[in-house]
């Protein structure tokens, strides 16, 4: 990743003589760049008030949206239909030229070396820059390290457009807080942090987001503050889950049931209700690496953050090793065995496979030449095959498996119950309950 732009260059964008010469939009014409889990719900909410162009690079995604289908299940078909007159999904970057307010919601993943990958964000900035005109505002929602908007994105916007930030156009930041599969916390019910590169832009961004939230906004002191606030939201959760995962491994050695210990400790009013498990998805397992990369760039080593990451990244291997040990104790050979994993998505009751740590369990078992299958009614079978390299079975056969791992606590698995799940086992099969869905005596072991 390129070194950050020197501080002198960054602050040059904020000089007092760089004063916007063109008024900010009075009646915004919005473009949302990236129509995934974050961008589509945002575009639909804004389309209740403004004309919105939604740009995505996936033609299949645009085709589905034009037919009223959202594969992420975040936006109901009736909401897509209601937005049809104000929302235009497209793969054509030329459509952005009709807009003056650009909201970037592309992914900010990590690469195979767990380094931040700003490629999608940089490419989106280049696309937006090609449509920039005087007075435009570019707002970023993608999760980044503190300083990325002004250090990485603004120079691209200026270079490609030929315009100057805070003189000809300005930038804002309002971090996404989407929680896939959560029907209680939707965009209108989430406080939105807002920030801008000038005071006028900060006012504009804050007023814009107030149109789509019922619970208000929080105006941060600067873009860097807003970026930092977002990245620590999930870093905090990651560290706490890492602690509880480590405790779960300790309690197993001590012969204690982790769930029982957490329930007892939870009777204290200020005990934090974190639970052990697999940490995946687009945020919690990714955001800490953005913060640690920035920390290391300023010669600071974040011991606690990285310790939590090491623990959480190792949970897939730990669970696979526990399964194989239980199988061996029952004289079940791992090589050539048949193992069923229940759940592939990164969390319950949603189709999101991004960064699912179920893949780590599968990979470890396959390394020991076990045969692995996945059953997940929420996940697209083709996507499971592509992401994890294993078959997704629609209906597991009764009495066919040497071991079953309940990896994701989908409601359909809870309703089936331990007895129903055990019907898929052959004797003396092993049932491992990662999510503590069933009673302690109903499974052979649980995390």
State the catalytic residues.
283
Exposed/middle/buried for residue 365 (C-beta within 10 Å: 0-12, 13-18, 19+): buried
Which DSSP string do the residues of 391-436 spell out, in sequence order?
Answer: EE-SSPPTT-EEEEEE-S--HHHHHHHHHHHHTTEEEEEEEEETT-
148: left (phi over 0), alpha (psi -120 to 50) or beta: alpha
Report DSSP state, residue 199.
H
CA-angle at 179, arms to 279 and 282, nearest 5°? 45
In 3-state terms, what secondary structure has residue 53? strand
SS3 235: helix
Which residues are registered as beta bridge partners of 192?
Answer: 217
Contact call for residues 316 and 360 (beta carbons, < 8 A): yes
Specify the 3-state DSSP secondary structure of 107: coil
Contact 232, 291 (CB under 8 A): yes
Neighbours of 128 (CB within 10 A): 27
- Rounded to an integer, what distance in angstroms lies between the CA atom of residue 229 and that of residue 221? 11
């Amino acid at each position: 990743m390129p070194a950050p732009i020197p501080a002198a260059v960054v602050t040059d964008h904020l000089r007092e003589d760089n004063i916007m010469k063109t008024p900010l939009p009075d009646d915004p014409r919005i473009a949302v760049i990236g129509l995934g889990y974050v961008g589509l719900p945002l575009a639909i909410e804004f389309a209740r008030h403004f004309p919105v162009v939604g740009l995505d690079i996936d033609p299949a995604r645009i085709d589905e949206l034009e037919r009223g289908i959202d594969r992420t299940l975040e936006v109901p078909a009736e909401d897509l239909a209601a937005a049809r007159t104000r929302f235009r999904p497209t793969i054509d970057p030329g459509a952005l030229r009709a807009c003056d307010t650009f909201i970037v919601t592309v992914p900010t993943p990590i690469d195979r070396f767990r380094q931040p990958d700003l490629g999608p964000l940089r490419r989106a900035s280049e696309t937006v820059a090609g449509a920039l005109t005087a007075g435009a505002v570019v707002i970023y929602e993608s999760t980044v390290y503190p300083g990325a908007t002004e250090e990485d994105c603004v120079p691209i916007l200026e270079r490609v457009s030929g315009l100057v930030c805070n003189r000809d156009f300005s930038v804002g930041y309002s971090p996404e807080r989407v929680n896939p599969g959560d029907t209680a916390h939707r965009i209108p019910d989430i406080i939105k942090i807002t920030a801008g590169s000038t005071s006028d832009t900060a006012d504009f961004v804050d007023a814009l987001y107030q149109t789509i939230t019922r619970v208000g906004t929080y105006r941060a002191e600067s873009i860097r503050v807003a970026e930092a606030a977002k990245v620590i939201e999930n870093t905090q959760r990651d560290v706490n889950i890492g602690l509880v995962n480590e405790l779960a491994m300790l309690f197993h050695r001590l012969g204690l049931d982790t769930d029982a210990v957490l329930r007892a400790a939870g009777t204290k009013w200020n005990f934090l209700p974190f639970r052990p498990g697999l940490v995946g998805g687009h945020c919690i397992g990714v955001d800490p690496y953005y913060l640690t990369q920035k920390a290391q760039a300023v010669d600071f080593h974040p011991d606690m953050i990285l310790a939590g990451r090491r623990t959480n990244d190792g949970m897939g291997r730990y669970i696979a090793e526990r399964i194989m040990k239980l199988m061996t104790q029952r004289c079940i050979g791992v090589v050539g065995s048949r193992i069923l994993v229940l759940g592939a998505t990164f969390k319950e009751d949603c189709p999101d496979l991004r960064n699912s740590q179920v893949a780590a369990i599968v990979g470890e078992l396959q390394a020991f030449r076990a045969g692995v299958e996945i059953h997940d009614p929420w996940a697209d079978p083709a996507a499971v095959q592509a992401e994890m390299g294993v078959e997704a079975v629609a209906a597991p056969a009764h009495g066919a498996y040497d071991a079953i791992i309940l990896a994701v606590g989908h409601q359909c698995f809870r309703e089936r119950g331990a007895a129903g799940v055990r019907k898929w086992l052959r004797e003396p099969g092993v049932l491992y309950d990662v999510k503590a869905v069933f009673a302690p005596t109903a499974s052979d072991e649980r995390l």
